[in-house]
């Protein structure tokens, strides 16, 4: 089998746990640590790396060099930043709600790390193996709305409050298309279990055939993104995920040109760093779940398992950076309109398309369903998108704008 | 929708192009990593003034005459000049102290515009950082003095123009001097001739001077103030 890395890691874990067979209490603790500690460390490292990646990527997009002084290629820049953040004074506004001001970053970080625990990093590599992992992921993921609003409210600052209010409006609105576009996948694979969803994206008969070419493509062609509803669903999911993770162009809660830094305005020092870490880790988590749902999770040719998952997750994150370097921020009304008047109806329609596709596959075989699905199903989705955008068009954009001169 | 999607894709293509080309195209990555490389100075760079001297000796060749026009013209008043004196405490045309506070200078080049002796010029030196932020940033006369060759090196076109102007000035002064000498010579000759003539005339006309003419002249003098009463008030 080619996902040997995962098996080796699991074996290593089992061997370590086996060392403590005589001390059951210690064994439980070790088991807990083995599940959580590597994940925490790895994702913290990934956070550092991704800040570097983001700064470098944005710099290159803007024809700059980016950080290149600390370490080779500036790779140690995150470390320097971390030390700097640690050494900074932690300023708490005098009349803020001190308890909630303190709790907000914690509240944001805990669900972010829990959400990471539900990612199927590899074959059997999952910190919190659970049958309803996807459901739980979304449930935990929506907690960060509360944390952001806590930060905004407790700071006693108008910009913070505005940021918090925007965050609540945005996250609640985008949660719905996010979950609805995931529903199509859940329907199709008939399970909430992340591992089974990944397994449903591998063509099992090809994998078992023993033919190398078939094995190679069996790991790729089954991904949901190659199906019409999966492709559309992936786009809806990704857009909603950007909004959920507060990433540009949906970074309204911390729109620095309008409301300073939104809910982060009154935070400094390490709390600020924790906010950032939590946001990046949520972005990772959501990129990871998008990978699981639409991009075949850890399945992939030759080195299936952990490496493929990390490659896909980082690619999605790179696309997020790319989008950040390209698109301007939306206006609040555009943001809300886009979620409710455009994404939501399309996501619901997508569920129907997925349902029809499912039955078509059973009725006419997968090839016919594939071709017909792309022609008919995608056509329906595209027509619907066109119609919706025509319905949503604001009257001023029709034809020329008329300006009235002041007499 | 399709319009927006097209716009987004076009934008992404632009940023991707910038990203990729920044790795191999020089014009997509114009950053100069300063302490390691320096290539930003060309002959049109101007940063802070310096004083030009001609020839070998700094003091002898100094063009500045301590006329203090630049001191007066400098908007933030960062030039400070004291005239030099000779052994007898008589002021001479040369500055003893000429300080420019580089932390105040705003590189406006007004001092250059105003200098009538082509003495103060803009330098392209930009590494002016210093450990001492008080005395260290005050540039004194000896540090300011730089040779004309250096000026030619950093701003060749401008330095050549300046040299031409100075040469023209000198040539003009020469011709003027010559003209003056010529004039003086002619005048002297004329004077000599006139003196000779006068001597001859005087001898002849001395007897003709009449008393009536003198009386008329004094009358005219007495009337003049009444014609113009304002002159009295002023
Ligand atoms: S630099 Fe020029 S303007 Fe200034 S004192 Fe000297 S001669 Fe005068
Ligand atoms: S460049 Fe401007 S500010 Fe600087 S010394 Fe000359 S006149 Fe003063």
Give tens-digit pLDDT for A238-258.
Answer: 999 998 888 888 888 888 788
SS3 at position B122: strand
CA distance B22 to chain A (A): 6
| Contact between B15 and A61 using a beta-carbon 8 Å cutoff | yes
The answer, yes or no, to whether residue B39 has pLDDT greater than 80, is no
* C-alpha span between A255 and A252 (Å, rounded): 5
CB burial class (10 A; 0-12, 13-18, 19+) of residue B70? buried
Res. B86: pLDDT tops 60 = yes
Residue A196 confidence (pLDDT): 83
Report CB contact under 8 Å: B15, A326.
yes
* Strands B145-147, B79-85: pairing kind: unpaired
Number of neighbours of residue B220 by Cβ within 10 angstroms: 8
Q: Do B1 and A65 touch (CB under 8 A)?
A: no
In B, minimum Cα distance to A235 occurs at: B5
CB contact under 8 A, B19 and A57: yes
A82 pLDDT higher than 80: yes
Share of chain B above pLDDT 70, in %: 85
Question: What residue's CA is closest to ligand 1, atom 3?
Answer: B115
DSSP tag of A340: I
What are the chain A neighbours of B13 within 8 Å (beta carbons)?
none
Please say whether the beta carbons of A198 and A299 come within 8 A: yes
Q: By alpha-carbon position, which residue is closest to atom 3 of ligand 2?
A: B105
Cis peptide before A249 (omega within 30 of 0): yes
Return the C-alpha torsion angle B181, B183, B186, B188, nearest 10. -70
Phi, psi of B62 (to 5 degrees): -60, 130
Structure tokens at A367: 């090839």
- Which tokens go with A241? 């995920």
pLDDT band at B129 (very low <50, low <70, confident <90, very high): confident
> What is the pLDDT of chain A when averaged over all its residues?
84
Residue B117 Cβ inside 6 Å of ligand 1? The answer reads yes
CA-based Rg of chain A, rounded to a whole angstrom? 23
- Within 10 angstroms of residue A89's Cβ, the number of other Cβ atoms is 7
Chain B residues within an 8 Å CB radius of A341: none
Nearest residue, CB atoms, B11 vs list A60, A68, A327: A327
Residue nearest atom 7 of ligand 2, based on CA coordinates: B74
Closest CA to A124 of A11, A257, A286, A214: A11
Q: Could you tell me which of B72, B63, B46, B43 has the C-alpha nearest to residue B145?
A: B63
- Cross-chain CB nearest to A63 (options B1, B4, B30): B30
Q: Which 3 state secondary structure label does DSSP give A407?
A: coil
The residue ranking higher by pLDDT, B90 or B229, is: B90
Q: What is the mean pLDDT of residues A158-183?
A: 88
CA angle B223, B224, B226 (to 5 degrees): 75
Looking at this predicted complex, what is its ipTM?
A: 0.75
The pTM of the whole model exceeds 0.90:
no
Q: What's the rounded Cα separation, in Å, for the pair A328 and A122?
A: 36
Ligand 1 neighbour B119 (Cβ under 6 A): yes
**Beta strand B79-85 pairing with B138-139:** unpaired
Q: Is A139 helix (H, G, I), strand (E, B) or coil?
A: helix
From A317's Cα to the closest Cα of chain B, the distance in A is: 15
Ligand 1 atom with minimal separation from the B65 CA? 7
**Rounded CA separation B28/B145 (Å):** 40
pLDDT tens per residue across span A105-137: 888 888 888 888 888 887 777 777 788 888 888
Backbone φ and ψ of B66, nearest 5°:
55, 40
Q: Strand, helix or coil at B184?
A: helix
Given the structure tokens 């449903």, which residue do they identify? Answer: A200
Assign A338 to helix, strand or coil: helix
CA A322 / ligand 2 centre spacing (Å): 46
Residues of A in contact with B33 (CB under 8 A): 65, 68
> What's the confidence (pLDDT) of residue A2?
63
Ligand 1 neighbourhood includes B124 CB (under 6 angstroms): no
Specify the pLDDT at position B171. Answer: 92
CA-nearest residue, atom 2 of ligand 1: B115
Whether A296 contacts A244, CB under 8 Å: no
Ligand nearest the Cα atom of residue B101: 2
| Pocket of ligand 2 contains residue B7 by CB under 6 Å | no
Secondary structure of residue B75 in the 3-state scheme: coil
Map tokens 């500055």 to a residue: B95
Strand pairing category for B145-147 and B48-53? parallel
What tokens does A90 get? 């932690």
Q: For residue B56, give how far its alpha carbon lies from the nearest alpha carbon of chain A (Å).
A: 44
Is there a contact between B31 and A65 if contact means CB atoms under 8 Å apart? yes
Contacts of A386 in chain B (CB under 8 A): 1-2
Whether A84 contacts A270, CB under 8 Å: no
- Rounded to the nearest angstrom, the minimum Cα separation between A346 and chain B is 12
Strand residues in B15-174 grouped as ranges (E):
48-53, 79-85, 91-101, 120-123, 138-139, 145-147
* pLDDT tens, residue by residue, B3-22: 677 888 888 898 998 888 88
Q: For residue B36, give the 3-state DSSP assignment.
A: coil
d(CA A133, CA A368): 32
Q: Would you call B31 and A64 a contact, using CB atoms and an 8 Å cutoff?
A: yes
Report the separation in Å between the CA atom of B80 and the middle of ligand 2, taken as the mean of its atom positions.
11
Cβ atoms of A242 and A249 closer than 8 Å: yes
String of b and e for A350-380 (b: at least 16 CB within 10 Å)? bbebbebbbebbeeeebeebbebbeeebbeb
- Give bridge partners of residue B95 from the DSSP assignment: B83
Nearest ligand 2 atom, CA B73? 7
Span B211-226, mean pLDDT? 54
Does the beta carbon of A386 lie under 8 angstroms from any beta carbon of chain B? yes
For chain B, give the longest Cα–Cα distance: 120
Distance CA A266, CA A259 (A): 12
CB A278 within 8 A of CB A108: yes
Q: What are phi and psi of A125, to 5 degrees?
A: -90, 100
> Would you state the pLDDT for residue B75?
92
Per-residue pLDDT at A214: 74
Report the SS3 class of residue B126.
coil
Checking if the pLDDT of A66 tops 70, the result is yes
| Cβ contact, residue pair B18, A63, below 8 Å | yes
Q: Is B84 in the pocket of ligand 1 (CB under 6 A)?
A: no
Degrees to nearest 5, angle at CA A33 with A27 and A38: 140
Which one of B115, B122, B139 would you pick to mutate in the ligand 1 pocket, going by the greatest count of ligand atoms within 8 A of its CB?
B115
Sheet holding B91-101, edge to edge: B79-85, B91-101, B138-139
Rounded-to-integer distance, Cα B201 and Cα A168, Å: 118
Q: Is B227's pLDDT higher than 80?
A: no
* Count of positions (residues) in chain A: 407
Cα distances (Å, whole numbers) of residue B107 to A138, A382, B50, B99, B227: 60, 61, 11, 15, 59
pLDDT tens by residue, A194-210: 888 888 887 777 777 77
Structure tokens at B114: 């105003």
Kindly tell me the sign of the dihedral angle through the C-alpha atoms of B12, B14, B20, B22: negative
Concatenating the DSSP letter of every residue in B206-229 gives: GGG--HHHHHHHHHHHHHHHHH-T
Confidence bin at B231 (pLDDT 50/70/90)? very low
Instruction: Give me A10's structure tokens.
Output: 């699991």
In this structure, the number of other CB atoms found within 10 A of the CB of residue A121 comes to: 25
Contacts of B14 in chain A (CB under 8 A): 326
pLDDT over 80 at A328, yes or no: yes
């Amino acid at each position: 089998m080619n996902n040997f890395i995962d098996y080796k890691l699991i074996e290593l874990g089992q061997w370590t746990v086996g060392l403590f067979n005589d001390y059951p209490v210690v064994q439980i603790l070790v088991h807990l640590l083995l599940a959580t500690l590597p994940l925490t460390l790895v994702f913290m490292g990934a956070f550092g790396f991704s800040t570097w990646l983001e700064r470098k990527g944005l710099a290159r997009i803007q024809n700059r060099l980016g950080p290149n002084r600390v370490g080779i290629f500036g790779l140690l820049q995150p470390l320097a930043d971390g030390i700097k953040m640690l050494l900074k004074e932690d300023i708490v506004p005098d009349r803020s709600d001190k308890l909630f001001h303190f709790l907000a970053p914690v509240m944001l970080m805990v669900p972010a790390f829990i959400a990471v625990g539900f990612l199927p990093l590899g074959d059997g590599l999952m910190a919190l193996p659970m049958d309803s992992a996807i459901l739980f992921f979304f449930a935990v993921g929506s907690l960060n709305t509360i944390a952001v609003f806590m930060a905004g409210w407790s700071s006693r600052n108008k910009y913070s409050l505005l940021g918090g209010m925007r965050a609540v409006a945005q996250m609640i609105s985008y949660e719905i298309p996010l979950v609805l576009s995931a529903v199509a996948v859940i329907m199709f694979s008939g399970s909430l279990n992340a591992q089974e969803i990944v397994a449903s994206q591998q063509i099992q008969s090809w994998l078992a055939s023993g033919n190398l070419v078939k094995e190679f493509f069996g790991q790729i062609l089954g991904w949901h993104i190659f199906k019409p509803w999966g492709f559309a669903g992936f786009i809806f999911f990704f857009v909603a995920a950007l909004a959920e993770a507060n990433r540009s162009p949906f970074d309204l809660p911390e729109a620095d040109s309008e409301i300073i830094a939104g809910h982060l305005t009154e935070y400094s020092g390490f709390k600020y760093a924790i906010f950032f870490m939590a946001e990046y880790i949520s972005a990772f988590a959501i990129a990871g779940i998008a990978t699981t749902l639409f991009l075949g999770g850890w399945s992939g040719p030759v080195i299936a398992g952990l490496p493929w998952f990390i490659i896909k997750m980082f690619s999605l994150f790179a696309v997020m950076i790319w989008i950040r370097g390209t698109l301007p921020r939306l206006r609040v009304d555009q943001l809300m309109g886009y979620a409710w008047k455009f994404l939501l109806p399309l996501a619901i329609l997508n569920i129907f398309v997925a349902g029809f596709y499912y039955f078509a596959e059973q009725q006419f075989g997968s090839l016919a369903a594939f071709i017909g699905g792309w022609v008919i199903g995608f056509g329906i989705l595209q027509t619907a998108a066109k119609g919706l955008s025509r319905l949503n068009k604001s009257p001023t954009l029709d034809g020329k704008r008329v300006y009235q001169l002041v007499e | 929708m399709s319009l927006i999607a097209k716009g987004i894709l076009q934008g992404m293509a632009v940023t991707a192009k910038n990203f990729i080309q920044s790795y191999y195209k020089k014009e997509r990555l114009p950053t100069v990593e300063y302490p390691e490389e320096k290539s930003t100075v060309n002959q049109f760079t101007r940063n802070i003034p310096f004083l030009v001297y001609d020839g070998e000796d700094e003091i002898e060749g100094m063009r500045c005459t301590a006329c203090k026009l630049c001191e007066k013209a400098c908007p933030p008043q960062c030039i400070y000049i004291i005239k030099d004196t000779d052994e007898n405490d008589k002021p001479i045309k040369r500055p003893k102290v000429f300080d420019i506070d580089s932390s105040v200078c705003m590189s406006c080049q007004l001092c250059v515009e105003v200098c009538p002796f082509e003495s103060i010029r803009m330098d392209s030196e930009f590494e002016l950082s210093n450990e001492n932020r008080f005395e260290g940033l005050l540039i004194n006369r000896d540090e300011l003095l730089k040779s004309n060759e250096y000026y030619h090196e950093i701003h060749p076109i401008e330095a050549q123009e300046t040299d031409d102007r100075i040469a023209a000035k000198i040539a003009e002064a020469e011709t003027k001097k010559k003209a003056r000498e010529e004039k003086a010579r002619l005048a002297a000759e004329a004077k000599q001739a006139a003196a000779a003539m006068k001597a001859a005339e005087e001898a002849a006309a001395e007897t003709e001077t009449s008393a009536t003419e003198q009386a008329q002249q004094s009358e005219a003098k007495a009337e003049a103030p009444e014609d113009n009463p304002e002159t009295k008030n002023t």
